[in-house]
């Protein structure tokens, strides 16, 4: 009886060790593959508008393990802050309709029952970009070398004739 119980406990211990080591729970591979764990503040990546800025930007951040979602906050140029989303589950968010001024954005972790840590604040300066003046298209003119030689030849002949006429006096 003791022998069977001993084997059963050994099998259970082996299974537990196998499960925890292969799934990564409590192992180094889990931490290595998921460096951001719950309790870590969310970090917005720098906001880079497109070259043809149309008032629309894309907010991006790395997901944090154990966080249910993210609240996304926006502060307009007059200083008014609103929450765009209460519980956004992705790791990117599009914002459009931005007008001239400095806009600020911030994330906050959302857990199952409550809000968590605030992240960094990222700002973007929106302004009127002057429309560049168009460069005029150059006119392609070909130089007629024959005409230039003809005109310069006639000029030389004219000078010779004038000198000859003066010499006859």
- With b for 16 or more beta-carbon neighbours within 10 A and e for fewer, the 111-135 pattern comes to eeeeebeebeebebebeeeeeeeee
Residue predicted with more confidence, 11 or 49: 49
Write the Ramachandran bin of 101: left for phi over 0, alpha for psi from -120 to 50, otherwise beta. left
Place of tokens 């298209």: 137
Give the pLDDT score at 38: 62
Using an 8 Å Cβ cutoff, are 79 and 91 in contact?
no
Strands (E), 17-151: 57-60, 69-75, 81-88, 92-95, 101-110, 115-126
Write the Ramachandran bin of 46: left for phi over 0, alpha for psi from -120 to 50, otherwise beta. beta
Give the pLDDT score at 125: 87
- pLDDT tens column, 99-139: 888 999 999 999 987 888 999 999 998 876 556 677 777 77
Place of tokens 């008032």: 55
Q: What percent of the chain has pLDDT over 70?
A: 70
Token pair in block for residue 40 = 């870590």
Give the pLDDT score at 25: 44
- pLDDT tens column, 56-110: 899 999 998 889 999 999 999 999 999 999 999 999 999 988 888 899 999 999 9
- pTM (2 decimals)? 0.54
Q: How far lies 42's CA from each of 9, 56, 70, 82, 164, in Å?
A: 43, 22, 8, 18, 96
Q: Does residue 46 have a pLDDT over 80?
A: yes
């Amino acid at each position: 009886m003791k022998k069977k119980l001993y084997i059963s406990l050994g099998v259970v211990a082996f299974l537990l060790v196998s499960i925890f080591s292969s799934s990564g729970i409590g192992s180094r591979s889990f931490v290595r593959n998921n460096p951001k764990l719950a309790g870590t503040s969310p970090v917005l990546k720098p906001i880079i508008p497109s070259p043809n800025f149309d008032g629309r930007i894309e907010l991006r951040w790395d997901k944090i393990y154990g966080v249910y979602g993210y609240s996304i906050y926006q502060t307009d140029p007059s200083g008014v802050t609103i929450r765009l989303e209460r519980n956004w589950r992705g790791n990117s968010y599009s914002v459009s309709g931005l007008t001239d001024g400095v806009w600020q954005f911030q994330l906050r972790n959302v857990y199952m029952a409550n809000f968590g840590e605030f992240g960094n604040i990222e700002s973007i300066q929106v302004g009127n970009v002057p429309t560049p003046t168009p460069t005029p298209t150059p006119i392609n003119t070909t130089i007629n070398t024959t005409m230039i030689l003809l005109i310069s030849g006639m000029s030389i002949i004219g000078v010779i004739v004038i000198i000859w006429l003066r010499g006859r006096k």
